[in-house]
């Protein structure tokens, strides 16, 4: 019989797609640091070339050429339960960055939240689908990548940008950082 136990901690990350002509990256960084400190650090990695979702979001956010993407991630392990709270905060922050032009309201920031664990990468979403598990408070978990044989691997529903080899290698590096922090005995913050 299995017994309930606490899982190993995770590193939380934020994928920020933003319209650089409408909001400055420094503003986004400051707000993320305020909202998620001490969980989030100032470490970032650009992956503009590997973001096919820019075309999808350009319908809502404006010209694809004006959209940039950056990742931020925690420097300390966090409790996996933080995923729901972080996604709820992300929903609120996206509303803060809404713009209005005439009768149209549009987003200038899309903020994805996820966690990297030793086993997988999970995104938080507000949209239900067959492969997503409901976590509570309107938030679902999307199992996006699984870690096997020293690498992250895609699943049939993995978004193309998260499936790109360079992105998967970035998250494999992040997972190694998590593993080292666990070995060093750093406890998860909540």
Q: Whole-angstrom Cα distance, residue 46 to residue 55? A: 17
Residue 83 within a domain:
yes
Q: Is residue 123 part of a domain?
A: no
Burial class (CB in 10 A: 0-12, 13-18, 19+), 140: buried
Owning domain of residue 79: 11-114+160-180
Give residue 58's pLDDT.
82
Residue 102 lies in a domain: yes
Q: Which two tokens stand for residue 33?
A: 């640091």
Residue 132 lies in a domain: no
Instruction: Give backbone dihedrals phi and psi of 6, rounded to 5 degrees, phi first.
Output: -80, 135
Helix (H) / strand (E) containing 83: helix 82-96
Is 104 contained in some domain? yes
User: How many independent structural domains does the chain possess?
Assistant: 1
**Which one, of 57, 50, 56, 99, lies nearest residue 71 by Cα?**
50
87/139 Cα distance (integer angstroms): 7
Residue 148 lies in a domain: no
Q: What is the pLDDT of residue 49?
A: 57
What per-residue confidence (pLDDT) applies to 42? 52
Radius of gyration of the chain (CA): 17
What is the model's pLDDT at position 41? 58
Can you read off the two tokens belonging to residue 171? 């998250």
Backbone angles phi, psi at 103, to 5 degrees: -95, 5
Alpha helices, H only, the chain: 25-36, 53-61, 82-96, 160-163, 165-183
pTM for the structure as a whole: 0.89
- Residues of the chain predicted below pLDDT 50: none
Give the CATH number, domain containing residue 18.
3.30.70
């Amino acid at each position: 019989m299995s017994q309930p136990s606490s899982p190993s901690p995770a590193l939380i990350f934020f994928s920020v797609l933003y319209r650089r002509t409408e909001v400055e990256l420094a503003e986004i960084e400051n707000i993320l640091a305020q909202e998620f400190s001490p969980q989030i650090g100032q470490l970032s990695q650009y992956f503009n070339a590997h973001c096919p979702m820019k075309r999808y979001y350009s319908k809502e956010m404006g010209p694809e050429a004006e959209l940039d993407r950056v990742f931020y991630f925690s420097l300390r392990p966090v409790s996996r339960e933080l995923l729901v709270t972080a996604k709820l905060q992300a929903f609120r922050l996206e509303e803060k960055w809404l713009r209005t032009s005439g009768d149209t309201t549009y987003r200038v920031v899309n903020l994805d939240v996820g966690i990297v664990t030793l086993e997988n990468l999970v995104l938080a979403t507000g949209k239900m689908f067959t492969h997503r598990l409901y976590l509570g408070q309107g938030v679902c978990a999307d199992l996006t990548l699984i870690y096997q044989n020293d690498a992250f691997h895609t699943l049939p529903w993995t978004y193309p940008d998260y499936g790109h080899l360079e992105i998967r290698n970035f998250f494999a590096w992040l997972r190694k950082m998590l593993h080292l922090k666990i070995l060093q005995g750093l406890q998860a913050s909540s």
